[in-house]
Structure 1
């Protein structure tokens, strides 16, 4: 995980709290921002494949690669609204995913 992720997203969350408050509505808006960014990732992929014949190819692979980064940042900012320890809860989730993967890999190799 990037060493700057948590300090920067903490600053973003603090700035949002100062500008917009930290109500339940604001927390919901931060979750919706994750969905918005994920939609932009999907739109970029559609644009790189030319799936929409009316628009044709509108994006590059670099555009597609940029969008998941925005999703990660938005998700990290949103996580601040639901826990006082975002790095710790994400680390716990990552370790749990690694354990499941290791257990699955171990089972499949038997």
Structure 2
């Protein structure tokens, strides 16, 4: 299988090649897409709990997992579409989170 970031970069390039927008407008569209995906994971979670009175148990926890993967992928594509080195940006950010939140002695 290709490297994850190779796939993400290819997805971003494909979207950019089909977009009628330029620059920051493409980023904004991707941010809106990310919000759409977050809404879908929320809908799936509500459905897995059976909390929508009209739909009942309309989703499974596997559906929630799949939607969460869509959220993660869409966020990664956003990073790639914004340029630079998305892998480095993500890894540096993750390193800062680990240093802040995973220090020995933290509960």
Same fold at TM > 0.5: yes
Relative to structure 1, is the Cα distance of residues 22 and 81 closer, same or farther in structure 2, using a 3 angstrom cutoff? Answer: farther
TM-superposed deviation, 1:107: 4.5
Q: Which runs of 5+ in 2 are unaligned?
A: none
Structure 2 counterpart of 1:44 = 44
Matching of residue 73 in structure 1 with residue 73 in structure 2: yes
Structure 1 counterpart of 2:91 = 91
Q: How many residues align?
A: 106
TM-superposed deviation, 1:15: 0.8
Q: Distance in 1 between matches of 2:61 and 2:48?
A: 6
TM-score, normalising length: structure 2:
0.89
Relative to structure 1, is the Cα distance of residues 107 and 9 closer, same or farther in structure 2, using a 3 angstrom cutoff? Answer: closer
TM-superposed deviation, 1:32: 1.1
TM-score, normalising length: structure 1:
0.87
Structure 2 counterpart of 1:102 = 102
Structure 2 counterpart of 1:64 = 64
Mean CA deviation greater in 80-89 or 38-47: 80-89
Mean CA deviation greater in 28-37 or 18-27: 18-27
Aligned-CA RMSD value = 1.7
**Moved segments of 4+, more than 6 Å:** none
Q: Which runs of 5+ in 1 are unaligned?
A: none
Mean CA deviation greater in 30-39 or 14-23: 14-23
**1:67-86 deviation digits (Å, cap 9, x = unpaired):** 11001110011011223100
